[in-house]
A and B are shown apart, each in its own frame.
Chain A
Amino acid sequence: MSASLLIRGGRVVDPSQALDATRDVLVVDGRIAEVSENVEAPEGAQEVDASGLLVTPGLIDVHVHLREPGGEHKETIATGAKAAAAGGFTSICAMPNTDPVIDDPAGVGFVLAQAAAARAARVYPVGAISHGQEGLQLAAVGEMVEAGAVGITDDGNPVMDSGLMRRALEYAQAFGVPVADHPEDLGVSAQGGMNEGLVSTRLGLRGKPNASEDIHIVRDLLLAELTGGHIHLQHVSTAYGVEAIRQAKARGIKATAEASPHHLILTDEAVEGYNTDAKMNPPLRSAVDREAVREGLADGTLCVLATDHAPHHYDEKEQAFDDAPNGIVGLETSLGLALTHLVGKGLIDLATMVERMSCSPARAFNLEGGTLASGSIGDVTIVDVNEAWKVDRAAFLSKSHNTPFDGWDLTGRARYTIVGGEIVWQANG
């Protein structure tokens, strides 16, 4: 007997089909069966009344840290996948900088097995570029992809050896996966913990300038051009970086790039008071950079909105600024922030938001999903764009609560998260 789910009467926004209209969506046996004005419910179909709600292809976050194995006090694959579902994400890509590093097919298999057991958002492992993320020799890219990895990255660290980056961009092409890079020249960063500028000077904190990021963005683009490989630039935070990517794309270089909610909304002034929940890498930058990142997201230069969800245990953040680790959680605030501060303020429209949070991420990592076209995977997010709520980090499903957005008033929140036709998360119940 087939399992069906019928989503009735929602405003379906699916940029992959240039669709924005009231429609019913029928999912049968885990796949989209029909999207039309009046779908007849199959016998025994579960129905969801989506009238007044937004229905989109399942949201995808291609940049999350789930900490398992090795950092289970911060997050596990299960808690991360559940937090993702609560945030409206049907799929997330797990970074490999765990302990041990995910640099072989066994590690990839472990992540997939833990994710399957969680029965929440899908978790796609991203493998390491280099063995142990040491930046010395290529990891088992082919075997990892065979086991289910959807990309490679040494995120957490940049690839400092440009020669190795070149080889990665060449080698990965045989397997059709992007090479994702955390672009940062560590020499120029010089152990900086925040953006270099007036705020860092006043606070007496070591700063890292935009140039530390820009140097590697430009390098990566040049290497992508040289090799014909697909470079995916993570969490772009600088004005020059955005412009360099824009020009590279115009030249036909195969580049995709991310913007993160915090870089779109905050500036380095959020660090005032040595706020360790405003410490991440790359750091919050100037208002000029924030504006450029917004423009980049709007015009598609930064085609992917990704959170860089980086959980840390509270006592790891409860330290002097220099001693606290980088990163903030993002899965449970990303959609609300995007709706309130990007769509709500007219920086992008609703369809563009769905494009950046679902369609483009799917394309960048060759994932199923990102569309409600017939026959595609039955991943759907149903959103109440009018729900007013206050961020309460104590209520997060994530194990960690390190967010600078605690207490913020947001409008718009996921109501149902549906993975393969199954409701994996539902608000208020």
Chain B
Amino acid sequence: MTRTASSIGKDLIGLENLSAEQILTILDASEPFKEISERRIKKVPALRGKTIVNLFFEPSTRTRVSFEFAEKRLSADTVNISSSGSSVVKGENLVDSARNLEAMRIDMVVIRHGSSGAAGFLAERIPSMVINAGDGSHEHPTQALLDMLTIRDHLGRIEGLKVCIVGDIRHSRVARSNIYGLIKLGAEVAVCGPKTLLPMGIADLGVTVFSRIEEAIEWADVLNVLRLQLERMKGGFLPSLREYNRVWGVTKARLEAAPRDVLIMHPGPMNRGVEIDSDVADGPQQVILEQVTNGVAVRMAVLYLLAGGEPDTAEAAKENVDE
């Protein structure tokens, strides 16, 4: 059961191995799908007859629901499998899951897993198309794609922009996917956070490193503020949430000191008063809910393209309203 690779490959595991052209293909294909979600009847038949499994080994609400809406709006048949991974040996479960899914002849798997490399591991073992919905600290490609689509919506371009990712870069799959994607599209990328949360060798990925948020804000056109995992006090990464907010929090006062209006993004869910203050989270520069809306369109585009849809027929795909 071999499949012909689509214009973006058999699977979507990460942005590190995609070309700039492929990333732009996905962003461009997302545009026509945005409109479907604004309709009274939010459904087109593009993936009718396709079966998709959403295989979530880690708790997720936002990403899972976003994928599920994207799948349903394209008329795919979907099944959700959730496992906390706490009661079973994770890897063993993954191999067995792969074999079982293969046996059921499903078309696509959307996987979220706590171990880096898990999505690629699955993709190597089953003929179904695999979409990485976050693997450990490795990649979360659809999040970075929706981030880039949102930046492009607001600033008209990616190339030449200065984007700073703020927070726990060490443990963040969102950061890695954004770094790969943004650099490929010609943005300048920086990261900012306490050194305990910056991984070794990060500058070698081609990013600027700021240790203070004030410097990052002065430099940036866009701040992508990561969620701080509240358990990071364990392991000695941080002394306290209060101190994190005081030193690295994105606050109104800090934004007002910036030389230009900085676009504020956050992949959610937010810890208000920790990495981002409420008056910023609800303020005029934030585009956080637009990211969520774009998430559905980007995921529709990825599903559509992986299933073999041609980029230039994405516009046509939405026309065939299925009522």
Contact = CB atoms under 8 A, between A and B. Distances in A.
Contact of A203 (B89, B94, B116): B116
Nearest to A196: B200
B282 interface: no
Given A322-B115, A323-B89, A324-B91, A274 B120 contact: yes
A323 B57 CA distance: 14
A274 B117 CA distance: 6
Contact of A204 (B92, B95, B136): B136
A274 B116 CA distance: 8
A71 B118 CA distance: 26
Nearest to B140: A204
A62 to B, nearest CB: 32
B200 A197 contact: yes
A385 B114 CA distance: 47
A286 to B, nearest CB: 10
B34 interface: no
Contact of A320 (B94, B201, B205): B94
Contacts of A324: 91
B157 to A, nearest CB: 27
A196 B137 CA distance: 14
B50 interface: no
B202 interface: yes
A315 B173 contact: no
A224 to B, nearest CB: 30
Given A207-B200, A321-B117, A322-B115, A202 B92 contact: no
Given A320-B117, A323-B89, A204 B235 contact: no
Contacts of A203: 116-117, 138
Q: Which of A190, A205, A209, A273 has the most CB of B within 10 A?
A: A205
B199 interface: yes
A37 interface: no
A240 to B, nearest CB: 16
Q: Which of B16, B95, B173, B199 has the most CB of A within 10 A?
A: B199
B95 A319 contact: yes
Q: Which of A196, A198, A205, A322 has the most CB of B within 10 A?
A: A322
B176 A205 contact: no
Interface string B81-111: 0000000011110110000000000000000
24 contacts: A198-B204, A198-B205, A200-B200, A200-B201, A201-B204, A202-B16, A202-B205, A204-B117, A204-B136, A204-B137, A204-B176, A205-B116, A274-B117, A315-B95, A318-B91, A318-B95, A319-B91, A320-B91, A320-B115, A320-B116, A321-B115, A321-B116, A322-B116, A323-B91
Interface of B: 16, 89-92, 94-95, 113-118, 120-121, 135-139, 173, 176, 199-202, 204-205, 235
